[in-house]
Amino acid sequence: MVKSKQIAIEQLKHDEGLRLYPYTCTANKVTIGYGRNLEDNGISALEAEQMLQSDTQVAMLDAKKFVGEVTWNELSDVRQACLINMAFNLGLPTLKKFKKFKQALQDGDMDEASVQMLASKWAKQVGQRAKRLSLLIKEG
């Protein structure tokens, strides 16, 4: 790396500071990280892909926690993917509220699991996504 760029990076880290959650900067712009102006600069496709990869890994771990290791290992790849999708969308605290859905999965009752998915507030909010995922859970 060019020495001047490395020096500037160290200066910027000091001057901007690292913030891992969005904030409003002194120019009244939504900002994150080391001063990334999200309103004017957004993120690149590569950065979006990196974030998706990272977030999907977290969602997979959350999905495993939700159903438990034994149930997780018994699910097909398609059903695991559906749970990852839901964990990504909902987050683990909200996913944990799907008690009847979880029980149906643990009982191996995929028809009931599908019904429970569609009987949720989440299904009303996400519409076709819930219908598609519930069908995949059912047919697996």
Residue ranges and CATH numbers for the domains of the chain are 3-41 (no CATH), 45-139 (1.10.530.40)
Question: What CA–CA distance (Å, rounded) separates 130 from 136?
Answer: 10
The token duo for 111 is 């028809």
User: Is a pLDDT exceeding 90 seen at residue 48?
Assistant: yes
Percent of the chain with pLDDT over 90: 98
User: How does residue 10 score in pLDDT terms, banded at 50, 70 and 90?
Assistant: very high
Across all residues in the chain, what is the average pLDDT?
97
pLDDT single digits (tens) 84-131 = 999 999 999 999 999 999 999 999 999 999 999 999 999 999 999 999
